[in-house]
Amino acid sequence: MKRRLTKGSILIFALTTIISCSTNPTAKIQGVYEVNKDSLSASLQKGMAGENALAAGLLNAALKNAVIEFDIKGDSINGILFLAGETTLISSRIVERNDSLIIKTGKSEACLIPTKAGLSYRASGSKMSITLDKTKRTELSPETRKAIEAQEKAIKENEIFEQNLGKWQEGNFVDEFGDKTGSGFAYCLIRGASENSITTKSEVYVKAMVEGEKLNFQIYNSSLSMKESFPDSKFGSMKLKFPDGSVKSERVFFYENSVSESDKKAILYDYISQNNGVVKVYIDLGTASDYYSDKYQFEIEKNNLAETLKGLKK
């Protein structure tokens, strides 16, 4: 009786496994897949028909550097899609919806379609499909794993960068040899916007530094690779809008592509060093020179300024 029961249990388990495998939509697509670059090239060329030689060169570079590789285990998919400078990390469950296999790709979705040689990948709203061939590997390639690690590191660094925007930090002065002098300053990095007579609003970053009891500003482009150009050795003005809605104008001095509060009592620094609340800042280079039309807007507040200044005194 016991032996018959055991045999029956084994039979039931086997039947359950067979049924489960036959009904699981991902059962037949387990494995590692990589992009078919010939198919990708044909798709991209079709979309760029009639473009010039420069476009063709960019296309070739994009194809050469493309990394598209997925690993499907169970009902999960992991991998990377790097194409034309854009990177998407894939880490998602695979769900069946309306007879389609759907995965999450960041804030969007994509569809997986099994083919004879592998898979077809199509992002939501896109007309282009990416063909992936099934490989004999059971794990992602070392190059792909390295690319994923690098992207994960970049994402983490960007998260830290975003978290620190607007927060005051301790900086160090250095000598002509690049060595720290032992004295420091408080600074914060702020995201702002710029516009001029030629361009509409574009993103910039503002480095605000405490110098004595005044604020100095340096403004950089969106990649933080270059300072914005200012009039040199000129006085101008900036407008300040306080939390209560009042607006004041303050005299500033432009020097070596930076701008500093120049009144004896610095209005902006005096306010944020003693009060909470966001102050809106508007800097118009035209107030210092008729040759400039650039205008900058950003917001600044006290935040953790007092604690940062206290730390510098230790």
Same domain, 286 and 230: yes
Based on the domain organization, do 181 and 141 belong to the same domain? no
CB 271 within 8 A of CB 173: no
Kindly state the percentage of the chain with pLDDT values over 70.
Answer: 88
Looking at the structure, tell me whether residues 36 and 115 fall in a common domain.
yes
Q: Where are the beta strands (DSSP E) in the chain?
A: 31-35, 67-73, 76-83, 86-93, 95-97, 100-105, 108-114, 118-123, 130-134, 169-174, 180-195, 202-211, 214-220, 234-241, 247-255, 258-261, 279-284, 295-300
Residue whose C-alpha is closest to residue 138's, from 92, 69, 77, 71: 71
> Is residue 14 in some structural domain?
no
DSSP-assigned letter for residue 274: T
Give the relative orientation of helices 53-65 and 37-47 as an angle to the nearest 10 degrees: 150
Asked if 205 and 144 sit in the same domain, the reply is no
pLDDT tens figures, 182-225: 788 999 999 999 998 887 889 999 999 999 999 999 999 999 99
CA 258 to chain centre: 27
Number of domains the chain is built from = 2
Predicted pLDDT at 174? 84
Amino acid at 121: Y
Which amino acid does the sequence have at 92?
Answer: S
In a domain, 63, yes or no: yes
Task: Judge if 116 and 201 occupy the same domain.
Answer: no
CA 313 to chain centre: 35
- Say how many C-beta atoms besides its own lie within 10 A of residue 182's C-beta: 8
Residue 33 makes CB contacts below 8 A (sequence gap 6+) with 69, 70, 71, 72, 79, 118, 119, 132, 133, 134, 135
Asked if the structure places residue 217 within a domain, the reply is yes
Q: Is 237 exposed, middle or buried (0-12, 13-18, 19+ CB in 10 A)?
A: middle
Q: Torsion-angle region of residue 112: left (phi > 0), alpha (psi -120 to 50) or beta?
A: beta
- Is residue 218 domain-shared with residue 279, that is, in the same domain? yes
First to last CA, the chain: 83
> Residue 194's CB: how many other CB atoms inside 10 A?
22
Q: Which two tokens stand for residue 253?
A: 């001095």
Instruction: Show the domain range for 50.
Output: 26-158
Which of 117, 133, 158 finishes a domain?
158
Residues 74 and 122 in one domain: yes
User: DSSP per residue over 73-111, as a string?
Assistant: ETTEEEEEEEETTEEEEEEEE-EEETTEEEEEETTEEEE
> Is the domain of 32 the same as that of 90?
yes
pLDDT of residue 54: 53
Same domain, 143 and 175: no
User: Do residues 69 and 110 share a domain?
Assistant: yes
The more confidently predicted of residues 53 and 248 is: 248
Q: Is residue 265 included in any domain, yes or no?
A: yes
- The pLDDT tens digits for 72-122 are 999 999 999 998 788 999 999 999 998 889 999 988 999 999 999 999 999
Which one has a higher pLDDT value, 259 or 4? 259
Q: Which residue has the higher pLDDT, 314 or 258?
A: 258
Same-domain pairing of 97 and 40: yes
Question: Is residue 211 included in any domain, yes or no?
Answer: yes
Q: Which of 158, 190, 206 is the last residue of a domain?
A: 158
Q: Is residue 3 part of a domain?
A: no
Verify that 220 and 138 share a domain, yes or no.
no
Q: Evaluate whether residue 125 is within a structural domain.
A: yes
Domain end marker among 158, 180, 211: 158
Query: Does residue 75 fall inside a structural domain?
Result: yes
